[in-house]
Amino acid sequence: MEEVAAEEMLPRFRSLNPDDIREKSGPGDLVTVVDEAVERRLSSALTELLPGSSIVGEEGCAADPSAIGRLAEEGPVWIIDPLDGTWNFAHGIDRFASIVALAVNGETVAGWILDPMDGVTACAVKGEGAYAGSRRLTVAESLPVDQMVAIVTDFLFPAKEQGAVARMKDSFAEVYYERCAGVEYLHLVEGKAHVAVPPGTKPWDHAAGVLLHREAGGYSAMIDGRAYGPLVREGRLALAPDRDSWDLVKRIWSDEPGPSDLA
């Protein structure tokens, strides 16, 4: 990942031509020649590293939506977000990442997030903790709700959930977003933010990050109580430092009665 980022990603940052960028589903959903080049390189290298493995990549699935079905098959599958934060990258904003997860029989067993601008690569293997180099990663400690920081990309939620977004903004000390799931997960596992409610469940955005967060000591689940995994397609995911703080997030998001603080 680091080699490919150094060769394919960083030299083109703030150097893209207009015809290097195009829209996918709409004006905010962009793909660049860098996304495609990085996915090709990573796909080739990873399947060579693990013979018999297959690929579920963001750009591959955009071209062939049925490819995501490989996650339900037996055997190892590499899940790739080659350039997470494409909108930022295309607009010259230095908040982007590369994300890779390894899933076996529908379960994430390893994950990596690379922030090439900060030179940080976080990695986790199920049951073995989360690390950036030799440094063990740990989520922030729970605090009273009005002292905690939350990550919520408010504009990506539909109108019916804007009330929940407003309650989060009213409850937490700060609510922000980076428009890059990889960078946001790094903030969670480095203790820079406490809570997150992402706007989607796509496996290339979340499989690696949820594993990293769990291995860093955090608690996560879908708002309805289901465990998140790369096969989850619907619902709302929430992440917090521990179960008690997750319960608090659930109550705020769902507008349920109950204690409004962790005290």
Q: pTM for this one?
A: 0.95
For 125, phi and psi rounded to 5 degrees? -120, 135
190/196 Cα distance (integer angstroms):
13
pLDDT tens track for 227-237: 999 999 999 99
Longest dimension (CA), the chain: 54
Domains of the chain, first to last = 2-136 (3.30.540.10), 145-254 (3.40.190.80)
State yes or no: pLDDT of 261 exceeds 60: no
Using a 10 angstrom Cβ sphere, with 0-12 exposed, 13-18 middle and 19 or more buried, the burial of residue 191 is middle
pLDDT tens track for 23-70: 887 777 899 999 999 999 999 999 999 999 999 999 999 999 999 999
- Reported residue count of the chain is 263
260/263 Cα distance (integer angstroms):
9
